[in-house]
């Protein structure tokens, strides 16, 4: 009598297995055109199995996007020095980490800001996405409290910073942030210009 085939997941781990399989496919395919049926086949589970945790593909993509925001938050929090030499050093570290995260995870980063990953409210207004944004908010609030940054609506300042970082990240992912066009060390130069607009 032959042994039953070994399943790639333990009892209770189906959700994790489906997510990890889909994340792997996202990295390999550089996109999310796969179907839940393909994810199930790759994971070695029945075609109906993913639907036990995700009613449709959009729900799975939404969770994958939120995992992206979890990872971005972890990266930003990790780079934040306990005793920064200056707000400028910390600002540069956070901004460079943001861009590096996106360029190192291009497919995941695109998904995080895609309309395919559920509604904007479900993803971008969730606590998990706001936690990543909160790193920037906290940095700007501290800069204002220390008198380094102009006292303005911090959300407006954060929106300006985020818009520039997102634009630079997308241009970099697409290979369009070219030094021949925007000069040498374009990221640092852009960050200096952005910060000088915020400083007192």
Whether residue 50 sits in one domain with residue 119:
no
Tokens linked to 169? 């990240």
Whether residue 120 sits in one domain with residue 177:
yes
What DSSP character marks residue 83?
A: S
**How high is the pLDDT of residue 11?**
47
Count of Cβ atoms closer than 10 Å to residue 42 Cβ: 17
How distant, in Å, are the alpha carbons of 13, 27, 38, 117 from that of 49?
A: 11, 22, 12, 20
pLDDT in tens, 31-88: 999 999 999 999 999 999 999 999 999 999 999 999 999 999 999 999 976 666 799 9
Query: Which of these three, 11, 27, 54, is where a domain ends?
Result: 54
pLDDT in tens, 164-195: 999 999 999 999 999 999 999 999 999 999 99
Q: Structural domain tally of the chain?
A: 2
Residue 60 lies inside a defined structural domain of this protein = no
Residue 70 lies inside a defined structural domain of this protein = yes
pLDDT in tens, 95-135: 999 999 999 999 999 999 998 887 778 899 999 999 999 99
Instruction: Give the DSSP per-residue string, 105-167.
Output: SHHHHHHHT-TTSS-HHHHHTSHHHHHHHHHHHHHHHHHHHTTSB--S-HHHHHHHHHHHHHH
Count of Cβ atoms closer than 10 Å to residue 167 Cβ: 12
Tokens linked to 49? 């199995």
Residue 59 lies inside a defined structural domain of this protein = no
Whether residue 75 sits in one domain with residue 154:
yes
Whether residue 92 sits in one domain with residue 36:
no
H helix or E strand, kind and range, residue 24: helix 14-29
Whether residue 94 sits in one domain with residue 24:
no
**How high is the pLDDT of residue 191?**
96
Tokens linked to 25? 């496919």
| pTM of structure | 0.90
Whether residue 88 sits in one domain with residue 178:
yes
Could you tell me which residues come within 8 angstroms of residue 92 by beta carbon, excluding any fewer than 6 positions away? 188, 191
Which residues constitute the domain of residue 45?
Answer: 1-54
Residue 6 reports pLDDT greater than 70: no
Tokens linked to 17? 């297995």
């Amino acid at each position: 009598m032959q042994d039953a085939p070994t399943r790639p997941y333990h009892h209770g781990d189906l959700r994790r297995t489906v997510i990890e399989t889909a994340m792997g496919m996202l990295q390999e395919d550089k996109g999310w055109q796969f179907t839940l049926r393909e994810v199930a086949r790759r994971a070695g589970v029945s075609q109906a199995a993913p639907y036990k945790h995700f009613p449709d593909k959009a729900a799975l993509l939404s969770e994958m996007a939120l995992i992206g925001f979890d990872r971005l938050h972890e990266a930003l929090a990790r780079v934040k020095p306990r005793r920064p030499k200056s707000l400028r050093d910390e600002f540069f570290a956070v901004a460079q980490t943001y861009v590096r995260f996106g360029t190192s995870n291009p497919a995941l980063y695109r998904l995080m800001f895609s309309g395919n990953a559920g509604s904007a409210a479900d993803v971008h207004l969730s606590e998990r996405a706001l936690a990543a944004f909160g790193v920037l908010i906290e940095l700007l609030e501290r800069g204002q409290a220390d008198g380094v940054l102009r006292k303005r609506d911090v959300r407006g300042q954060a929106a300006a910073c985020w818009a520039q970082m997102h634009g630079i990240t997308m241009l970099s992912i697409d290979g369009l942030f070219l030094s021949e066009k925007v000069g040498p060390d374009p990221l640092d130069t852009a960050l200096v210009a952005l910060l000088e607009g915020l400083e007192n």
